[in-house]
Chain A
Amino acid sequence: MDERTAVRLRWSSGAVAIMVVIGAAAGAAVVLGGFDSSALKGYAEPINWLIHRTMIDSVRVRARAITPPQRFTKDQVMAGFRLYDRHCAVCHGAPGLGRQGWVVGMHPAPPYLLDVARHWRPRELYFIVSNGVKMTAMPAWSPTLSQKDMWSVVAFLEALPQVSATDYASLDRLDLTRTAARPTPASEGVTR
């Protein structure tokens, strides 16, 4: 071979050798328990930021394909309230209501959702509810809830800033829409 080819070959085989060494080192680090999978230990702040940013961008882009309803009705908000109390309050709490005790053991910590409507569009909230969040304990709800139900949950999330602790605690007096309160069956939801 000519000299130019020989030089190229040397550079590329050097690059390959470096990649193999790095790969082997990373593999060894994992196999020898170098990564701590404990939920008690968080990541460094820059890693937290990166993970969070990745999730935000993933949701923002993928939710563009979703068309939300034009407006949410009061029936949807009330239905969402019951669904939220049953499925969501356990991990996400509610106005005045803490999460279940064992939730402190989760990493990442499920957030309270009182201001999500300020941070996310409705279609993005729907995407998160429907798809869940990988590598967290947030389930995808599309296998278990209908689209109608999931939009109701989003409707309730949008209404959350109107809900005080006393409102939330008294389901049958809750009236987010200023009409006469409707009797609701006793909720199976979280009490504390």
Chain B
Amino acid sequence: MGVRASWNINLRIGMALAASGIAAACGNPNRVPAHALGDSRKGAQWVEREACGSCHLIPSKTAGIGVVGPPLGGVARRAIIAGVLPNTPANMVRWLRSPQAVLPRTAMPDMGLTEQQAKDIAAYLYTLD
């Protein structure tokens, strides 16, 4: 094909990629796509095993009926975590790993999560509608 035709195709591919990137960034104000933070599928499994739903409402999870902490649907859009931390991936991981270091009296349990587990969980949480 001619130079102009291949340039058109490349332009369209490039625009499609840019659009999806913008869409991903718009969906997540943290501007870190979930897959870059951790494995959200593993995170979903950890959320089930750690019984997060026993304190938090989690969309589409039967066991996510807890009314202790805030609902986790749309947590990516929330500005502040636990009332004190700006909602960034790093702060979410920090909160998940050591809640009492952030808020000594908080009922949120210290689950002994590793850095990777916390990242996977955070990645999953940021996908919740």
Contacts and interface: CB of A to CB of B under 8 A. Distances in A.
Given A48-B63, A108-B63, A96 B51 contact: no
Contacts of B66: 111-112, 114-115
Contact of A96 (B53, B54, B108, B112): B108
Contacts of B105: 96, 164-167
Interface stretch (A17-25, A64-72, A97-105, A148-156): A97-105
Interface in A149-183: 161, 163-167
B50 A109 contact: yes
Contacts of B51: 99, 109-112
A165 to B, nearest CB: 6
Chain B interface main SS type: loop
Interface residues of B, number: 27
B107 interface: yes
8 contacts: A48-B62, A52-B62, A96-B110, A98-B109, A98-B112, A111-B51, A112-B51, A119-B65
A96 B62 contact: no
Given A95-B107, A97-B109, A114 B65 contact: no
A114 B108 CA distance: 10
Interface string A78-105: 0000000000000001111111010011
B18 interface: no
Interface string B10-52: 0000000000000000000000000000000000001011110
A109 B49 contact: yes
B61 interface: yes
A181 B110 CA distance: 26
A134 interface: no
B109 A118 contact: no
Given A97-B109, A165-B104, A49 B62 contact: yes
> Which 7 pairs across A and B sit closest by C-beta, in order of nearness?
A111-B54, A164-B105, A109-B51, A98-B111, A48-B62, A95-B107, A98-B109
A139 interface: no
